[in-house]
Amino acid sequence: MAASEYTMRIWRGDASGGAFCDYRVSVEPGMVVLDAIHRVQATQANDLAVRWNCKAGKCGSCSAEVNGRPRLTCMTRMELFPPGETITVTPMRTFPLIRDLVTDVSFNFGTAKQVPPFQPKPKEPDGTYRMQQEDIDRVQEFHKCIECFLCQNVCHVIRDHPEHKKHFAGPRMFVRYAALEMHPLDTDNRLELLKEKMGLELCNITKCCTEVCPESIHITDNAIIPLKERVVDAYYDPLARVFRKLTGTR
Amino acid sequence: MVENEYETHEFDVIVIGAGGAGLRAAIESSAQGARTALICKSLFGKAHTVMAEGGIAAALGNVYPEDNWKVHFRDTMRGGKFLNNWRMAQLHAQEAPTRVLELEEWGALFDRTEDGHILQRDFGGHRYARLAHVGDRTGLEMIRTLQQRAVRQGIDVFMECTIMRLLTDGDRLSGALAYWRESGKFVVFKAKAIVLATGGIGKTYKITSNSWEYTGDGHSLALWAGADLIDMEFVQFHPTGMVWPPSVRGILVTEGVRGDGGTLKNAQGERFMFKYIPELYRAETAETAEEADRWFTDRSAARRTPDLLPRDEVARAINSEVKAGRGSPHGGVFLDIATRRDPEYIKRRLPSMYHQFKELAGVDITQEPMEVGPTCHYAMGGVRVDADTEAATIQGLYAAGEVAGGMHGANRLGGNSLSDLLVFGQRAGLAAARYALGLTGGVRIDAHQVETLAREALEPFERSDGENPYAIHQDLQECMQSLVGIIRIEGELKQAVDKIVALEDRAKKVRVEGHRQYNPGWHLALDLKSLLAVSKCITLAALERKESRGGHTRDDYPKSDPHFAKINVVLRQKKDQLGVAQEPLPEMPEDLRQLLEEKK
Ligand SMILES: Cc1cc2nc3c(=O)[nH]c(=O)nc-3n(C[C@H](O)[C@H](O)[C@H](O)COP(=O)(O)OP(=O)(O)OC[C@H]3O[C@@H](n4cnc5c(N)ncnc54)[C@H](O)[C@@H]3O)c2cc1C
Ligand code: SF4
Ligand code: SF4
Ligand code: FES
Structurally, how many domains does chain B consist of? 2
Mean pLDDT in chain B?
Answer: 95
Q: Which of A52-56, A99-103, B564-568, B596-600 is the least confident region? A: B596-600
Our CA-based measurement puts residue B594 at a distance from the nearest CA of chain A, in whole angstroms, of 31
Query: Is B219 part of the annotated catalytic residue set?
Result: no
Judge if A152 and A211 occupy the same domain. Answer: yes
List Cβ neighbours of A205 (8 Å cut-off, separation of 6 or more): A220, A224, A225, A247
A59-106: per-residue pLDDT in tens? Answer: 999 999 999 999 999 999 999 999 888 999 999 999 999 999 999 999
Is A72 close to ligand 3, i.e. is its CB under 6 Å away? no
Domain final position from A103, A127, A153: A103
Exposure b/e, B333-356, CB count within 10 A at least 16 = b? bbbbbbeebeeeebbebbbbbbbb
Ligand nearest to the CA of B20: 1
3 state SS for B218-257: HHHHHHHCCCCEECCCCEEEEEEEECCCHHHCCCECCCHH
Same domain, B472 and B372: no
Same domain, A194 and A230: yes
How do residues B231-256 score in pLDDT, each as one tens digit? 999 999 999 999 988 889 999 999 99
Give Cα B271 to chain centroid, integer Å. Answer: 29
Task: Indicate the pLDDT class of residue B440, thresholds 50, 70 and 90.
Answer: confident
CA distance A182 to A188: 10
Pair A152, A172: CB distance under 8 Å: yes
Decide if B506 is inside a domain: yes
Same domain, B250 and B370: yes
Mean pLDDT confidence for B179-191:
97
Residue A23 confidence class, pLDDT cut points 50, 70, 90: very high
In angstroms, the CA A129 to CA A148 distance is 31
pLDDT at A151 over 60: yes
Ligand 2 centroid, distance to A207 Cα (angstroms) = 5
**3-state SS class at A193:** helix
Distance CA B326, CA B323 (A): 7
| Same domain (yes/no): A96, A220 | no
Q: Where are the beta strands (DSSP E) in B403-504?
A: 487-488
Please say if B488 is a catalytic residue. Answer: no
The CA distance from B141 to the nearest CA of chain A, in Å, is 7
A103-112 CB burial, b ≥16 within 10 A, e <16: bebebbbebb
Together in a domain, B348 and B473: no
Position A244 scores a pLDDT of: 56
Residue of B116, B151, B211 lying closest to A54 (CB–CB): B211
pLDDT tens readout for residues B414-429: 999 999 999 999 999 9
Of B327, B355, B376, the residue that ends a domain is: B376
Over residues B128-150, mean pLDDT? 97
Are the C-beta atoms of residues B191 and B175 closer than 8 Å to each other?
yes
Residue B192 in any domain: the answer is: no
Q: What is the DSSP letter of B211?
A: -
pLDDT tens, B2-33?
Answer: 445 799 999 999 999 999 999 999 999 999 99
Are B358 and B463 within one domain?
no
> Which ligand 1 atom is the nearest neighbour of the CA of B49?
21
Together in a domain, A210 and A88: no
Instruction: Give dist(CA B185, CA B5) in Å, integer.
Output: 8
- Taking all residues of chain A, what is their mean pLDDT, rounded to a whole number? 93
Q: Are A153 and A95 in contact (CB under 8 A)?
A: yes
* Interchain CB contact of B478 with A (< 8 Å): no
- The Cα–Cα gap between B294 and B283 comes to 17
Domain extent at residue B506: 459-566
Residue A62 Cα to ligand 2 midpoint, Å, equals: 22
Residue to probe by mutation, ligand 1, list B163, B198, B398, most atoms within 8 Å of CB: B198
Q: pLDDT tens digits for B61-108?
A: 999 999 999 999 999 999 999 999 999 999 999 999 999 999 999 999
- What is the least distance, in Å, from the CA of B182 to any CA of chain A? 7
What pLDDT is recorded for position B3? 45
Question: How deeply is A242 buried, as exposed, middle or buried, from its count of CB atoms within 10 A (0-12, 13-18, 19+)?
Answer: exposed
Contact of B397 with B227, CB cutoff 8 Å: yes
Query: Are B372 and B463 in a shared domain?
Result: no
Query: Residue B537 above 80 pLDDT?
Result: yes
ipTM value for the complex: 0.93
CB atoms A60 and B246 under 8 Å: no
CATH code, A237: 1.10.1060.10
What does the pLDDT read at residue B592? 96
Are B247 and B348 in a shared domain?
yes
Catalytic residue among B121, B238, B488, B516: B238
Q: Is residue B195 part of a domain?
A: no
Q: Are residues A164 and A70 in the same domain?
A: no
Please state the rounded mean pLDDT for residues B557-581: 96
- pLDDT score of B12: 97
Chain B residues with beta carbon closer than 8 angstroms to that of A112: 148, 151
Q: Tell me which of A90 and A238 has the higher pLDDT.
A: A90
Atom in ligand 1 nearest the alpha carbon of residue B198: 34
User: Which residues 366-405 on chain B approach chain A with CB closer than 8 angstroms?
Assistant: none
Q: Which residues of B touch A118 (CB under 8 A)?
A: 106-107, 148
Q: d(Cα B106, Cα B434) in Å, to the nearest integer?
A: 24
CA dihedral B296, B299, B301, B305 (to 10 degrees): 50
pLDDT of residue B207: 95
Examine the fold and report which residue of B343, B376, B409 is the final residue of a domain before the chain moves on: B376
Question: What spacing in Å lies between the alpha carbon of A50 and ligand 2's midpoint?
Answer: 27
For the residues B514-518, what does the mean pLDDT come to?
A: 94
If DSSP states are collapsed to H, E and C, what string results for B338-406? CCCCCHHHHHHHCHHHHHHHHHHHCCCCCCCCEEEEEEEEEECCEECCCCCCCECCCCCEEECHHHECC
Q: For residue A241, what are the contacts with CB-CB under 8 A and spacing of at least 6? A: none
Give the number of the ligand closest to the Cα of residue A145: 3
Whether residue A149 is found in the same domain as residue A68? no
Contact B140, B20 (CB under 8 A): no
Cα gap A176→A181, rounded to integer Å: 9
Q: What is the mean pLDDT of residues B362-370?
A: 96
pLDDT at position B600, please? Answer: 46
Answer yes or no: are the C-beta atoms of B533 and B477 closer than 8 Å: no
CATH of the domain at A99: 3.10.20.30
The CATH number covering residue B274 comes to 3.90.700.10
Count of domains observed in chain A: 2
Pairing of the two strands A97-99 and B56-57:
unpaired
- Centroid of ligand 1 to alpha carbon of B200 (angstroms): 7
- The string of pLDDT tens digits covering residues B265-288 is 999 999 999 999 999 999 999 999
Give the percent of chain A with pLDDT over 90: 84
Interchain proximity B360–A51, CB inside 8 Å: no
* Inter-chain contacts counted by CB atoms under 8 A, chains A and B: 158
Query: Across residues A183-202, what is the average pLDDT?
Result: 96
Task: Select from A76, A103, A130 the last residue of a domain.
Answer: A103
User: Active-site residue among B258, B549, B552, B554?
Assistant: B258
B138 near A CB under 8 A: no
Q: What is the pLDDT of residues A135-144, one digit of tens each?
A: 999 999 999 9
**In the predicted structure, residue B598 carries a pLDDT above the cut 70:** no
User: Nearest residue CA, atom 4 of ligand 2?
Assistant: A209
- Which structural domain range is residue A30 located in? 4-103
Residue B408 belongs to some domain of the structure: no
Assess B105–A contact: CB distance below 8 Å, yes or no: yes
Mutate to test the interface with A, among B42, B46, B247 (most CBs of A within 10 A): B247
What residues in B contact A50, CB-CB < 8 Å?
A: 520
Query: pLDDT-based confidence at B442, cuts 50/70/90?
Result: confident
Main-chain dihedrals φ then ψ at residue B59, nearest 5 degrees = -80, 70
Cβ atoms of A36 and B336 closer than 8 Å: no
> What pTM did the predictor assign?
0.95
Average pLDDT over residues B397-410: 98
* Cβ B197 vs Cβ B178: under 8 Å: no
Check residue B2 and give its pLDDT.
Answer: 45
Please tell me whether residues A235 and A178 are part of one structural domain.
Answer: yes
Residue B599 pLDDT: 58
Average confidence (pLDDT) over B500-514: 96
The predicted model gives B550-577 an average pLDDT of 95
Spatial CA neighbour of A177 closest among A107, A112, A243, A249 = A112
* Ligand 2 pocket residue status of A128, Cβ below 6 Å: no
Residues framing ligand 1 (Cβ under 6 A): B 16-22, 39-42, 47-49, 51-55, 138-139, 162-163, 197-199, 209-210, 213, 217-218, 252, 378, 401-403, 414-418, 421
Give the tens place of pLDDT for each residue, B305-348.
999 999 999 999 999 999 999 999 999 999 999 999 999 999 99
Q: Which atom of ligand 1 is nearest to the CA of B218?
A: 38
What angle is formed at CA B257 by the lines to CA B251 and CA B262, rounded to 5 degrees? 125
Are residues A144 and A49 both part of a single domain?
A: no
* Average of per-residue pLDDT across A159-172: 89
B501 vs B476: CA distance, rounded Å: 11
Last residue of a domain, one of A58, A80, A103: A103
Q: What is the mean pLDDT of residues A98-126?
A: 96
